[in-house]
Amino acid sequence: MPNRLARETSPYLQQHADNPVDWHPWSEEALALARTQDKPILLSVGYSACHWCHVMAHESFEDAAVAAEMNRLYVNIKVDREERPDLDQIYQAAHHLLTRRNGGWPLTMFLMPDGTPFFGGTYFPKTARYNMPGFLDLLPRIAQAYHEQRDEIAKQNESLIAALVSTVPASPNAEEFERMPLTEALREFTQVFDREHGGIGRAPKFPHPYELAFCLRRHALDGDTAGLDIAHTTLTHMAEGGIYDHLGGGFARYSVDDTWTIPHFEKMLYDNGPLLALYSDAWRVTQSPRYKTVCAETAAWVMREMQSPEGGYYSSLDADSEHVEGKFYVWTPEEVKALLTPVEYAVLAPHYGLDDTANFEHATAEGGAGAPRRGDATPERDAGAGATRSQTASSLTDPSSEVPRSTLRGAYWHLRVMKPLAGSGTLLASARAKLLAVRNQRIWPGRDEKTLTSWNALMIKGMARAARVFNEPAWLASAQHALDFIRRALWQDGRLLATYKDGKAHLNAYLDDYAFLLDALLELMQSEFRAEDLDFARALAERLLDQFEDPVHGGFFFVSHDHEKLIHRGKPGHDNATPSGNGIAAFALQRLGHVIGEPRYIGAAERAIRLFYSAMQRQPSAFASLLTALEETLAPPRIVVLRGDARALGEWQRALTTRYRPDMLVIALRGSVSDLPPALAKPAPASGVNAWVCQGVSCLPPASDLGTIERLLDQANK
């Protein structure tokens, strides 16, 4: 009989609706039940594409004996971290404070009835192995500690709450802003850059699109060759590596090895949107044909597999198929040879390294599976991002241990470019098409079909940027379709909601939803100006200031002023897998303020930057988004306003988009546009195009010659 999760919209929660565990969604009802029954809360946080969440579910949550213990001893709450990032942020931070280890998913936390955690970990096997305690053994021990060690837990909880509070900066920096953090951040990225294989840091390797965009920006604005080297080397190796899907397009979440060969196979919307924008910009700098191909294939994948008929973008594709990670994506040598003609195989095999040693091995009952890579790499399979080890808190018995590596057996290939070939494009294309057609007949990974406002905003920006760079109207139409869906379904009574599925939009939106969507609207308005998009942007900016800004210290809280009361209210400033909400809010508010001439937005952005300035000075590379906002405080972005007839406007837009100028916005206004704010209300010429270039409060005289504008922009950039 289904439990309470059957009524939820989250696909992740619905995956657990038939568990024998008496699951509750996060709710006041569940917290009240814990208080009434004097039981601790077992909080399990994950998401639908999470491989190790599935493993723990199959081992423990679907097991009758484990479920019986959970139901007897705990009030059990299941949370989708994508729908409730507010809860995930709090309990990931608490896990780190309790264990001194990085967290990850699944996150397993044990809470007091008031929501304060007193013990935590990530993945636990059902029975003890890999030097880890068994979950079934751990459950009664934690419950016993809850009932018998109240005083010790109470003292620990006081310290924990104080530590959480201390993570929120409270005193704005009074110093004048300087460029030093920008320079230091690039130096730090240079120190951890893998010069051989690309990437920031070592395995597991994540894409880091915001850090790479910062490096590319340094090259464009400062002429720094180190920034270009970091970005170009990394993006090339990623595009050739197994982290990229060479048949279907799009990037996996991360690579488990240093050479980008073997991915953690889940595909996340929040990675692919920013990467689409980044590869578009990198193509403008390098003219790399591979970057253009990556953009075309990724955009096609997004529209084909990730956009709903209603317009919104789906959240993710699972890593697993048929309960096996990566099975959908990998090939045996026999499969490939049987599908292709000898001449097709002769072209495809060296291109993807299929004539080399197989590079992927599966721990399955049948054997293994794999994908092409360089012969010098020996990737090991990680249990999952962040799921490294769990420790005790307070006086509880220590279950700390390393998370297991998979047992390796079997031999498969996962596609990775080994030898770029010239003159065999047609044969290679036909071979890839055959493989893709067969792959599409396999059992597909699960798709999380909820629409998240913040993640949609990241993809809208990526699609709009790529559409503008490559002059692809279909990509722009896709982005506008998604934006119109959000405005129609998730903007209700003057405020955003966070998630939508099956006709239901719900959950109070977070800082990221407002900030990312405002940023996406600024990108869309540069691709095609629509008056309703500007109105929407202004409404979002007003709500940001009204509901999220700290009126005393500056900066933006992650949850709104009228949000559900939780044990902690964070104000995150550093970038993670997604950019900092404070960084993007400051960046987008500042730009909108300059575009429409609204000093309140610029002031709010400066207050946020000032609040985090000391942290940026101490560890600048952790704040790429805020650093970009800082740079545009020091030197406001250049705003180019174009007015004229549609045909000529299109030519000017394309010309001004050819070069990568990250500090410039181009707003093209057709002659019929009216009711504009004073900063945009420029007179339309009788014919041709007029252009105005403004920076801060200074504007140059209008010009009607494209060459003149190009020279003015070049001179201003020197």
Same domain (yes/no): 609, 708: no
Q: What pLDDT does 257 receive?
A: 93
Question: Which pLDDT band holds residue 102 (cuts at 50, 70, 90)?
Answer: confident
Question: Which pLDDT band holds residue 508 (cuts at 50, 70, 90)?
Answer: very high
Same domain (yes/no): 669, 544: no
Same domain (yes/no): 571, 674: no
In a domain, 268, yes or no: no
In a domain, 627, yes or no: yes
Averaged pLDDT for residues 115-131: 93
Domain boundary among 114, 141, 166: 166
Averaged pLDDT for residues 540-567: 97
More confident residue, 601 or 673: 601
Same domain (yes/no): 579, 648: no
Domain boundary among 166, 200, 230: 166
User: Residues 482-502: pLDDT tens digits?
Assistant: 999 999 999 999 999 999 999
Q: How, if at all, do strands 491-492 and 495-501 pair?
A: antiparallel
Averaged pLDDT for residues 702-708: 91
Same domain (yes/no): 21, 160: yes
pLDDT exceeds 60 at position 379:
no
Mean pLDDT of the chain: 91
pLDDT exceeds 50 at position 182:
yes
Same domain (yes/no): 651, 528: no
pLDDT exceeds 90 at position 413:
no
Q: What pLDDT does 422 receive?
A: 66
pLDDT exceeds 70 at position 393:
no
Same domain (yes/no): 20, 125: yes
State whether residue 25 is helix, strand or coil. strand
Averaged pLDDT for residues 345-360: 84
User: Residues 63-86: pLDDT tens digits?
Assistant: 999 999 999 999 999 999 999 999
In a domain, 230, yes or no: no
- Which stretch of 383-387, 505-509, 589-593 has the lowest confidence by average pLDDT? 383-387
Q: Left (φ > 0), alpha (ψ -120 to 50) or beta: where does 208 sit?
A: left
Q: What is the CATH number of the domain that holds 90?
A: 3.40.30.10
Q: Could you give the dihedral angle defined by the CA atoms of residues 580, 106, 456 and 28, in that order, rounded to the nearest 10 degrees?
A: -90
pLDDT cut 70: percent of the chain above it = 92
More confident residue, 672 or 569: 569
User: Residues 244-282: pLDDT tens digits?
Assistant: 999 999 999 999 999 999 999 999 999 999 999 999 999
Helix H or strand E encompassing 233: helix 225-240
Same domain (yes/no): 49, 146: yes
In a domain, 206, yes or no: no
Q: What pLDDT does 359 receive?
A: 75
In a domain, 573, yes or no: yes
Listed residue (99, 94, 15) closest to 56, CA to CA: 15
In one-letter notation, the amino acid at residue 232 is: H
In a domain, 671, yes or no: yes
The domain in which residue 52 lies consists of: 4-166
* Exposure of 545 in the CB half-sphere (CA atoms within 13 A): 19
Listed residue (663, 528, 509, 487) closest to 590, CA to CA: 663
- Which stretch of 2-6, 17-21, 205-209, 486-490 has the lowest confidence by average pLDDT? 2-6
Question: Which pLDDT band holds residue 672 (cuts at 50, 70, 90)?
Answer: confident
pLDDT exceeds 60 at position 366:
no
pLDDT exceeds 90 at position 390:
no
Residue 251 CA: distances (Å) to CA of 244, 262, 394, 570, 701: 5, 12, 41, 30, 45
pLDDT exceeds 80 at position 357:
no
Domain boundary among 589, 613, 634: 634
Q: Which two tokens stand for residue 375?
A: 């012969």
Same domain (yes/no): 630, 642: no
In a domain, 341, yes or no: no
Q: What pLDDT does 363 receive?
A: 42
DSSP one-letter code for 461: H
Q: Left (φ > 0), alpha (ψ -120 to 50) or beta: where does 565 sit?
A: beta
- CB–CB of 641/670 below 8 Å? no
From the DSSP assignment, how many helices (H) and strands (E) are in the chain? 24, 20
pLDDT exceeds 70 at position 362:
no
pLDDT exceeds 60 at position 440:
yes
State the total domains in the chain. Answer: 3
Averaged pLDDT for residues 228-234: 98
Instruction: Give the span between the Cα atoms of 574 and 555, in whole angstroms.
Output: 13
Averaged pLDDT for residues 440-454: 97
DSSP one-letter code for 129: B
Same domain (yes/no): 562, 701: no
Q: What is the DSSP string of 337-387?
A: HHHS-HHHHHHHHHHHTTTS---B---SSS---B----TT--PPPPS-TT-
Same domain (yes/no): 592, 683: no
Q: What pLDDT does 392 receive?
A: 30
Count CB-CB contacts under 10 A for residue 376: 6
Same domain (yes/no): 145, 33: yes
Instruction: Give the span between the Cα atoms of 662 and 517, in whole angstroms.
Output: 19
Averaged pLDDT for residues 12-38: 97
In a domain, 356, yes or no: no
pTM tops 0.75: yes
Instruction: Give the span between the Cα atoms of 134 and 125, in whole angstroms.
Output: 5
User: Residues 184-215: pLDDT tens digits?
Assistant: 999 999 999 999 999 999 999 999 999 999 99
Q: Which two tokens stand for residue 85?
A: 């990032």
Question: Which pLDDT band holds residue 173 (cuts at 50, 70, 90)?
Answer: confident
